[in-house]
Amino acid sequence: VDLVKQTEHGDVSNYQPNGEFDLVSFEAERHVVIYSCCPEPYPDITYTIRIRRRPLFYVFNLILPCMLINSI
């Protein structure tokens, strides 16, 4: 079996934006390993997904409501 990357980046056509995280990058990397026991190559594709947490999400959705409840 041979694995082939179609693009350098992953497919984000079905990605739905999230209120807590931003998608920074989605990369694909192909590796081929040849083990000493077997003559044929073993390819794999590694996908790296990088996300960034929005810092104000916790302020408005966790910390601020807790402070308001405590002040009552």
* pLDDT grade for 72, boundaries at 50, 70 and 90: confident
User: Long-range CB contacts (< 8 A, 24+ apart) of 39-45?
Assistant: 43/1, 43/2, 43/3, 44/3, 45/3, 45/5
Q: What pTM, to 2 d.p., does this model score?
A: 0.67
In this prediction, residue 20 carries a pLDDT of 84
In this prediction, residue 12 carries a pLDDT of 86
In this prediction, residue 25 carries a pLDDT of 93
Q: Quick: pLDDT tens for 26-52.
A: 999 999 999 999 999 999 999 999 999
Q: What integer is the mean pLDDT of 56-60?
A: 79
Phi, psi of 50 (to 5 degrees): -110, 125
